[in-house]
Structure 1
Amino acid sequence: MKIKLVALAALSVCTSMTYAQSSTTIYGIVDTTVRYGTNANANGDDKVQMSDGFATGSRLGFRTTEDLGGGLKAMAVLETGFAPDTGELQQGGRMFGRQSYLGLEGKYGRLLLGRQYTVAYDTLCSFDAFFCANNSLVGYQGSNYAGLRYDNTAKYSKTFGDFAVNAGYTFGETVPGVVGQSAKAASVTYTSGKKYFGIVYQVTDGVSSAFFNSVPSAQASKQVVWGFGGTYQFEQAKVLFGYTRSKLDVADYQNDVLQLSANYKLSNALQLIGTVQHDKLKRDVGDGRRLTTALMLDYFFSKNTDIYVAVDYAKLQGEWVSLGNNGSAASFYGQSNRTNLIAGLRHKF
């Protein structure tokens, strides 16, 4: 009897130790805006609507980690996106459409497997003060050039002093002879004090509708994206710059983007964020240009709750008018410009 009691006590201690080494966090963002927008349809009419956040999308996530000993830990993230005004699921109605991955991290680096942000997205968006804004008129590069998120992806990262290397591979999961959306990517970043620099290269096969919904499946193309940029932190302001090139072979699109943005801290509770982007499009049939600007004034009631006002403006010329006419939320509906005035409320938990 005593032996059984001792065994049960030992088992209880071991179980308690196991749970003590594991943790699960529930987190999220609810970000809702009211927007007034111009040229919201083919007739050029204006529109007032309630919608998702300007800079961030609403989400609910579950993050778990477990210490496996010897400096090794396991981790997993399940994250769903939703429209705060209707409660509907985003990302095509997927239950965990924002992120769904698990992985291991230790002295040899970190390996993540599943649906996750691309290496190009992680790197290129780090050169933008809005980190590729959720507003698709402003953050269009994040999905159409960087790919945003890929399914069936293995992503590896390792830090060497001030340098970090990242590599990603997306499985096309098709039989031989059938083109799938496979991808390969690598990046290197450098962080030292107030300075941050990075460079990234990504190749994706079978790109079609993901590119502004403008490329039919018959013209599915290899997309080569590369870019570089950096940031510098001053006492009250952070300045960011970046360059991106995206090229599709069969569909004949090449985009070169220059961007400059900044985040200025007006006070402990108030910040001003702005960005300017110039996108030059080259095609055999002609060229085009796009100018995108945005400005947001953000006031924090606390570290978790803020209220903001924002304005964004985009103007198209030449072939960019055709590229921007795709019927999605980022569409210009055949018009050459769009303006949005936005007021938003955001809460993080």
Structure 2
Amino acid sequence: MKRVLNGTVVATALLASVHAHAQGGVTLYGLIDTGVDWESHAATAPGQTSAPGSAIRMTSLSSALPSRWGLRGKEDLGSGLSAIFELESGFAPNSGTLQNGNRIFGRSAWVGIESPYGTVRVGRQINMTYVALMKSTVLGPALYSLAALDPYLPNSRSDNTLSYFNDFHHFVMGATYSTGRDAQSSAGSAAVNGGATYNPGATNCPGSVAGSPTSCRQITALAGYWGPEFGLQLVYDELRGGPGALPGSVSFDPSMPLLLSSASQKTTRYMVSGYAQLGDLSFRGGAIHRMTAATMDYQTNIFYIGASYMVAPDVELDGEISRITTTDQKNANYYVMRATYLLSKRTSIYTMLGFMQNNSRASYAVGAGYFTVAGAKQTGVLFGVQQRF
């Protein structure tokens, strides 16, 4: 309760500051996006052997996009330099609670300098894996998206991060370096990991350990070409384990509840992806190879391709097909379609249809963050509304 009250006080003060300095280059922005989701063969927890039936619920973590509000600022310093900052808070519209590990500014909290030679930022921010994903998938971080196959992807942001990014005549390069990728933990009843429960948005790895500079370190790098008609990019993402934030605990791999108990244990991703724009029709796709070296070695491969088409100025259709294969043969095919109707420049309604085709060992749910049983052929239908401000 105290944390929520403190967050309310901070938010009120910031809003007052925006009102007082609206001419000083500070912008208040955000979106509220929620809907009603129905899924067949729904389970209430992971590892169940039978599904009690279908489930209907209002979305909380994400619908078409995660709900958020934020503040952005920019000040011209002269000689081509600008000071910039961003504070962004994620929330659940169905309950009003905070997301991203219950942080008031869990989506981003950084300050930086923008120049003709690139942009440098310091603080909590998205990393290059997230940047590349937003360029190469038509669905983004929706409830029905690649997040259902790898929950790290829509949560690929890091604490304690120094970043650099530059776009030079459409050739792009960027990198992030985090000394402690996630200082938040998720308290719960699990006996393992010091009482913390698995949460891809709070993975319990604060870093800054004396004598172990690589504990909880994360490095991401991106290189590519972003042209008006096509683009291609390569990404490297390495995150290491280490002591957790709770006494006696260790960190999580944000892809799955696998412990990374020391700095020598790590998860590495390699991504190649791109896009092509042909008038009102666009194609996006890529491949992501992940290797986790811990008490066991684990690998996954995700392949995805999608298309988006503006049928009319106010109607957009999206579709994406993806496939995951794993070391232990938990394989699945995933099919998603979405139709969006723009009521205005700021308001839209949409519907999504998803189908998850698990093999006999896999139990990926059609909706990210939910559960089903091994071998399920699960269908999901989502109706939602989004309003930007």
Q: TM-score, normalised to structure 2's length? A: 0.77
SS at match of 1:214: strand
Q: Report deviation, 1:345.
A: 0.6
Contact 1:199 1:229 in 2 (8 A): yes
Corresponding residue for residue 384 of structure 2: 344
Corresponding residue for residue 193 of structure 2: none
Corresponding residue for residue 372 of structure 2: 332
Q: Distance in 1 between matches of 2:349 and 2:71?
A: 25
Cα distance 1:234–1:178, how it changes in 2: closer, same or farther (>3 A)? closer
Q: Report deviation, 1:177.
A: 4.1
SS at match of 2:319: strand
Corresponding residue for residue 39 of structure 1: 41
Q: Report deviation, 1:248.
A: 0.4
Q: Distance in 2 between matches of 1:20 and 1:211?
A: 38
1:75 aligns with 2:84: yes
Give the counterpart of 1:244 among 265, 288, 302: 288
SS at match of 1:123: helix
Q: Deviation digits for residues 36-59 of structure 1, max 9, x if unmatched?
A: 112221441211111134220000
Q: Tell me which moved more, 176-185 or 160-169.
A: 176-185
Q: Distance in 2 between matches of 1:160 and 1:69?
A: 21
Q: Tell me which moved more, 215-224 or 121-130.
A: 215-224
Q: Please tell me the residue identity of whatever aligns with 2:40.
A: T
Corresponding residue for residue 3 of structure 1: none
Q: Tell me which moved more, 139-148 or 158-167.
A: 139-148
Corresponding residue for residue 169 of structure 1: 177
Q: Distance in 2 between matches of 1:31 and 1:90?
A: 14
Contact 2:321 2:334 in 1 (8 A): yes
Corresponding residue for residue 232 of structure 1: 276
Corresponding residue for residue 314 of structure 1: 356
1:211 aligns with 2:213: no
Q: Distance in 1 between matches of 2:90 and 2:154?
A: 19
Contact 1:138 1:312 in 2 (8 A): no
Structure 2 counterparts to residues 51-130 of structure 1, below 5 A:
51-52=59-60, 53-130=62-139
Q: Report deviation, 1:253.
A: 1.4
Identity of aligned residues (%): 25
Q: Distance in 2 between matches of 1:332 and 1:101?
A: 37
Q: Distance in 1 between matches of 2:79 and 2:348?
A: 41
Size of the alignment, in residue pairs? 323
Structure 2 spans left out of the alignment, 5+ residues: 1-20, 181-207, 243-250
How well do the aligned residues superpose, as a CA RMSD in angstroms? 2.4
Q: Please tell me the residue identity of whatever aligns with 1:331.
A: F
Q: Report deviation, 1:332.
A: 2.6
Q: Deviation digits for residues 134-193 of structure 1, max 9, x if unmatched?
A: 316642466425751111111101122220110110113222248632111211121223
Structure 1 spans left out of the alignment, 5+ residues: 1-18
Structure number having the greater strand percentage? 1
